Amino acid sequence: MVERSFYIVNMNKTQEKIAAGLEQAFAERGFTELGVDGLRDAAKVSLRTLYKYCPSKVDMIIMALEHRHARYLTHLFEGLPTHNPQVLDEIFARVGHWMSENNSEGCLFHNAVVSHPNSEAIRKMLERHKAEVADKLVESSNLIAMREPLLLIHEGIVQSWPILGAQAIASARILATGLQSGNAVKV
C-alpha cells in the first residue's frame, strides 16, 4: 500500500485498496485487455464492492488515475529542498526514478485517453493532472513565466522514456539549464 500523502484525500481504506489494485492492473495490462473479473481480482475485492465504488469501467479508470495522480505528485514534489537552484535536477531525477519503477511505456493518463477517446471524464482527468504538474513545476522552480516550457520538458521525459530511457533526463537537464539562465528562446 502507498504511503498516505497530503495529495490523497477523501478515500477510505477500501477505496485506496481498489484504486491501487486498478492502477497497477491498468499500468501493466492496459485499459482494454482486462474484463470485469480481471479488474475485480486486481482490486482484491468482491464484484459487489468494486461496483459500489466504481459503477462503470470509466469510473474504475478515473479512480486508478486519481490514485496515480496523488502518488505521482507526492513522489515528485513532496520534501523538495526549498530555494535550491538545482531543484529541477532533483525533480527530473525523480521523474526518471518513477519511470523506471512504475511505468516505462509513457504516460498512463495519455494511454487512458487513447484507449477511451470519447470519454470526457478521462480527458478532464488528463487535463487536470497535467495542469497540476505544471503548476507544481512552476511553484517548485520559481520559474513563474515558464509554465508551458517546464511542462513541455516534463512531457518530453515521460513520452520519450520508452525510447531514450535515462538519456531523456540528461536532455531535460540541458533544456532546463537554458530556461534557468535566460538563454531560452521566447515563444
Q: State how far the Cα of 128 lies from the Cα of 149, in Å rounded to an integer.
A: 17
- For 131, left (φ over 0), alpha (ψ -120 to 50), or beta? alpha
* pLDDT exceeds cutoff 50 at 7: no
Domain range for 151: 13-181
Distance (Å, rounded) from C-alpha 154 to C-alpha 75? 14
Q: How far is CA 187 from CA 87, 145, 184, in A?
A: 24, 11, 9
* Cell reading at 38: 480481471
Q: What is the pTM of this model?
A: 0.87
Residue 46 lies in a domain: yes
Q: What is the pLDDT of residue 104?
A: 65
Answer whether residue 126 is part of any domain. yes
For residue 4, tell me if it sits in a domain: no
Is 102 within a domain?
Answer: yes
The band of 54, judged by pLDDT with boundaries at 50, 70 and 90, is: very high
Q: Is residue 8 part of a domain?
A: no
Sign of CA dihedral 27, 63, 67, 93: positive
Structure confidence by residue, pLDDT tens digits, 118-164: 999 999 999 999 999 999 999 999 888 899 999 999 999 999 998 99
- Within a domain: 6: no
Tell me, yes or no, whether 17 lies in a domain.
yes
Distance of CA 18 to the CA centre of its chain: 18
The answer to whether residue 137 sits within a structural domain is yes
Task: Provide the mean pLDDT of the chain.
Answer: 88
Cell numbers describing residue 41: 481480482
| Count of domains for the chain | 1
Residue 176 sits in a domain of what CATH number?
1.10.357.10
